[in-house]
Structure 1
Amino acid sequence: MIATQKAPPPEAETGIDPHLRNLAIVVVLGVVMTVLDSTIVNVAITALGKDFDTSLSTIQWVVTGYTLALSMAIPMTGWSVRRFGARTMWLVSLGLFIGGSLLCGLAWSVPSLIVFRVLQGLGGGMLMPVGQTMLVREAGPSRMGRVMSIVSVPAMLAPVLGPLLGGAIVDHLSWRWMFYVNIPLCAAALLAAVRMLPRDTERDADARLDVLGILLLSPGLAALVYGLSEAGNGSSLTGARFLTSVIAGAALVIAFALHALRKREGALIELRLLRTRAFTTATGGFFLYSASVFGLMILIPLFARIVRGESALDSGWLLAPMGAGAMITMSVAGRLVDRFGGHWIAAGGAAIVLIGTLGLTTLDPTTGRAFIMGAMFVVGLGHGMIAPSLMAASYQGLPREAVGAATTGANILIRVGSSFGTAVMAVVLQIAIRHEVPGASGNLAEAASQHTADTPTLLTNAFTETFWWTAAILMAALLPILAVPGKAKAAES
């Protein structure tokens, strides 16, 4: 009798039912452009600076403002979903993103563009965690892998397609179309959400906002991400801006953790609910993996542009095979995770990514594009296995009321991890350049401009040394990944 009551419904065993499929379509439609906008503008920084006749350090805030707004909005997700409902927050967030996109396209000055990018980021920051929360609640444990493979699509393809789309728009259209292109797709997502999402039934009108928590965590994350972004953009690790931001951000995040653990109920993120081996190991592995793979995706275009002298669009194409590889393994990985658990699938994916990364450590100035694209295709095959596996594993053994906290916590760790990886790889590359190129300060443009016969070889050596660091971080990620509990063990707990 008990076993019969606990058995999942037939559709959970055989596949994704129409209601869950519609929900997944709504989430992917809404999230894809918000994630693309994290990278699409990067290739237009020069064009924006010329159009507005301003410095690079000023126009960089078009990217930084969006990133910081994303980081600050994520912690609000759990409380807002409890208080107003997932459907309501989805529609509000998507509306903010569409409005911000339109205003960005109409921007008349740099300050107005930065302000509108912040508005866009506030809406975009909540869409991914709200969408994940809706899908996890609907899917249940038996379909978690397949659902996470669907929601992983935007996150996997955005770093690859963003620079390509941005480069094509900048080369052939006005930069304003980078924002206008969001509007029709997101409007379709908004219409689909209105028609397909069920009315909110899980609302808690008494849910109170943890004001102290938001005052600690959101600025703390913003400061931490900003400091890491500064390091990624070439700032010195001993510079006042980097040190102040990172130390202040880390102190605020630690203070929030202590506050949340002491608070009996109503914390912005209920950290006590997340004291499970599955969540800790899966998100810890994802943090380190994100650092490694995002660092890799920064290094490849830099190598193409600095060492090989390729255009932004051509260098972006080197990342395209990664998306193709991920698409091949992603849907299969989701089904395997539902059947066998994510433990060995994630570990196998990490090993495949490691093989592709080790291939990049053998580059020389004459290495053909086919070899680099082949290595990135291998990385993509592993990437498509890791993302759905670890995302699904992080929810193992968690009660339904902990889904919001888990989703928020995981999104925060992934965002900080990607910023951390970008910063570490940029700093390691600078140090390697100073070591390899005589008289170089670590500045890429300065080192490349020396135009000696040995410069390409010396710069390539600096890049391959840095690829070894990405491989080392990836191997470190294997430790928590191997500790993720298997499906049978999770079911017993």
Structure 2
Amino acid sequence: ALVIWLMPKFPASKKYGKSFDWIGFLILGGMFSSLILGIVKFSNYGNLSSANVLIPLFIGIDLLVAYVIYAQKFSKHALVSLSLFKSINFSGATVILLMSGITVNGAMFLLPLYLQNVRGLSVVWSGTYLIFQGVSLLVSRTQIGKLTDRIGTRWVVLVSVVIAVLSTLPFAFFDANTSKYLIWLMLFFRGIGQGGLT
């Protein structure tokens, strides 16, 4: 409602006559849904040879292949044009984004499991603990842009990687008796590192 009310209108400068690619959207949506379902089933069953795991994974892979064929055949109106990957910058940025996403979000997948299964916290309290990381991420993001403008991205990212690693490593040694204040502090620093990485 706020976007409709307050967002300025930016009319397209050119009319390309290109419509939304519903077929590509459905293929990619099915692919991601199937792969995620397969991964979730794998985490439940712990067995890659189970049909409950393999069927969604194979459907996801088949849909990925189907999209590649579809996008090559109808490249003019494909949702994600494969020609983008001919650009070294685009391909490199995609790989780096994937790797940083795995790094950052992998820990975010494990932290609630630690908080709930090892420390015995409820879902609500686990979320409350993670607020410390969210707040520091928010605070650091406002300063990261200024730092990047002043000294460039290289040092911001390198220092952020060091902060993220040093604040994530202690979780390997945390147990049910670890001080909650130490956990909050490490989560706070993880948020700073994550902000710089992102």
Instruction: State the TM-score bracket (shorter-chain normalisation).
Output: 0.7 to 0.9
**SS of 1:218's equivalent?**
helix
Q: How does 1:25-104 map to 2 (within 5 A)?
A: none
Mapped contact 1:353–1:378 kept (Cα < 8 A): yes
How big is each residue's C-alpha offset from its partner over 1:54-98, in whole Å with a ceiling of 9 and x where there is no partner? xxxxxxxxxxxxxxxxxxxxxxxxxxxxxxxxxxxxxxxxxxxxx
Q: Whole-Å Cα distance in 2 between the matches of residues 258 and 335 of structure 1? A: 43
**1:241 has 2:52 as partner:** yes
Instruction: Please give the residue correspondences for 1:240-389 in structure 2 after superposition, counting only pairs within 5 Å.
Output: 240-338=51-149, 341-387=152-198
Given the superposition, is the C-alpha separation of residues 240 and 383 from structure 1 closer, same or farther in structure 2, using an over 3 Å criterion? same
Deviation at 1:220, TM superposition (A): 1.6
CA contact (8 A) 2:144 2:196 kept: yes
Task: Give the Å deviation of 1:383.
Answer: 0.7
Q: CA deviation at 1:281?
A: 2.4
Amino acid across the alignment from 2:174: L
- CA pair 263-348 structure 1, distance change in 2 beyond 3 A: farther
1:339 deviates by 5.2
Q: Give 1:205 deviation, angstroms.
A: 5.5
Residue number among 227, 234, 249 corresponding to 2:38 in the alignment: 227
Instruction: Kindly indicate whether structure 1 or structure 2 has the higher relative contact order, using CA contacts under 8 Å at least 6 residues apart.
Output: 1
Distance 1:190 1:229 in 2: 36
Whole-Å Cα distance in 2 between the matches of residues 297 and 275 of structure 1?
32
Identical aligned residues as a percent? 26
Q: Distance in 1 between matches of 2:79 and 2:29?
A: 10
- Contact in 2 for aligned 1:300/1:318 (Cα 8 Å): no
Q: How many Å separate the matches in 1 of 2:29 and 2:136? A: 35
Over 3 Å counting, the alpha-carbon distance change for 1:222 and 1:202 in structure 2 is farther
Amino acid at match of 1:240: A
Whole-Å separation in 2 of the counterparts to 1:199 and 1:268: 22
Q: CA deviation at 1:303?
A: 2.0
List per-residue Cα deviations over 1:439-472 (Å, max 9, x = no partner).
xxxxxxxxxxxxxxxxxxxxxxxxxxxxxxxxxx
Cα offset, 1:343, TM superposition: 4.0
Query: How many Å apart are 1:199 and its aligned residue?
Result: 4.1
Determine the C-alpha separation between the residues in 2 that align with 1:364 and 1:225.
29
CA distance in 1, matches of 2:152, 2:93: 12
Q: Which runs of 5+ in 2 are unaligned?
A: none
What residue ranges of structure 1 are gaps of 5+ in the alignment?
A: 1-186, 388-493
TM-score norm. by structure 2 comes to: 0.83
Q: Show CA shifts across 1:220-265 (max 9, x none).
A: 2221222223335x23333222211112112211331243245452
Superimposed CA distance per residue, residues 313-343 of structure 1 (whole angstroms, 9 cap, x where no aligned partner): 3222221211122123212222333455534
When the two structures are superposed, what TM-score results if normalisation uses the length of structure 1?
0.36
Query: How far apart, CA to CA, are the structure 2 residues paired with 1:354 and 1:240?
Result: 37
Distance 2:72 2:131 in 1: 43
Q: How far apart, CA to CA, are the structure 2 residues paired with 1:207 and 1:220?
A: 24
Please give the per-residue CA displacement for 1:94-128, whole angstroms capped at 9, x wherever unaligned.
xxxxxxxxxxxxxxxxxxxxxxxxxxxxxxxxxxx
How far the C-alpha of 1:209 sits from its partner, in A, is 4.6
CA distance in 2, matches of 1:339, 1:261: 42
Partner secondary structure for residue 45 of structure 2: coil
Conserved 8 A contact 1:353-1:381: yes
Asked if structure 1 preserves the Cα contact closer than 8 Å seen for 2:75 and 2:81, the reply is no
Aligned residues: 197
| Distance of aligned partners of 1:301 and 1:208 in 2 relative to their CA distance in 1, 3 Å threshold | closer
